[in-house]
Amino acid sequence: MGALDQFTRRGIRLELADGDNVRAIGTLNDSLRSAIKTQKPQIIDELKRQEFERLLAIVATDHDTPAHEYAEIRETAAGDFEAALETFANMAKQIKGI
C-alpha cells in the first residue's frame, strides 16, 4: 500500500501544489494533517509518478508509441526523473487540446 492509499481510503485527495507542496482536499483532522506532514516526501514522490504516468499516456498515444516500449521509457526516465517529468510535461503541452 502506498502513502496515497491511506488518505484516499479516508476520502482525502492529495495533489501537488507549487514548490513541492501538497494540497489536501477533504475533511482533515489533526491526525491526518500530521500523517501528511510525516509522509510528505513519499506522497510527493507518488504524486509525481502518477503525473508522469498520465503524461506518458498522453505523449505515447500521440506518438503512436508501442506498448512494449513503455517499460524502456520508464527505465530511462528513472535515471533523471525530474528532468523526464519536465520533458514529458512540455511535450504534452505541445499536443493540441492539452
pLDDT in tens, 20-35: 899 999 999 999 999 9
pLDDT in tens, 41-84: 999 999 999 999 999 999 999 999 999 999 999 999 999 999 99
Helix axes 70-79, 81-94, angle to 10 degrees: 130
Strand positions, DSSP E, 1-98: 13-17, 21-25
84, 52 in Cβ contact below 8 A?
Answer: yes
pTM exceeding the 0.85 threshold for the entire prediction: yes
